[in-house]
Amino acid sequence: MIEIGKYQTLKILRDTSIGIYLGDEDGEEVLLPNKYCPEESNIGDELHVFVYLDYAERKIATNLEPRILLHEFAYLQVAATSDVGAFLDWGLEKDLFVPFREQQQRMVEREWYVVYLDLDQTSQRLYASSKIDKFLKNVDLPYKEGEEVSLLIAKKSELGYTVIINQQHQGIVYDNEVFSNINIGDETHGYIKTIRPDQKIDVSLSPIGYRQFNDVNSQLIYEYLIENNGFLPLTDKSSPVEIYAIFGISKKAFKKAVGSLYKERKITIETDGIKKT
CA 89 from chain center: how many Å? 15
- Neighbouring residues of 101: CB distance < 8 A, sequence distance ≥ 6: none
- Neighbouring residues of 65: CB distance < 8 A, sequence distance ≥ 6: 50, 91
Map out the domains of the chain with their CATH numbers: 6-62 (2.40.50.330), 73-133 (2.40.50.140), 148-204 (2.40.50.140), 216-276 (1.10.10.10)
Task: Return phi, psi of residue 217, to 5°.
Answer: -70, -35
Residues 276, 169: Cα–Cα separation, whole Å = 33
Q: What is the pLDDT along the chain (277 residues), one digit of tens a residue?
A: 899 999 999 999 999 999 999 999 999 999 999 999 998 889 999 999 999 999 999 999 999 999 999 999 999 999 999 999 999 999 999 999 999 999 999 999 999 999 999 999 999 999 999 999 999 999 989 999 999 999 999 999 999 999 999 999 999 999 888 877 789 999 999 999 999 999 999 999 877 755 555 577 888 888 888 889 899 999 888 999 999 989 888 888 898 889 888 888 889 999 899 999 8
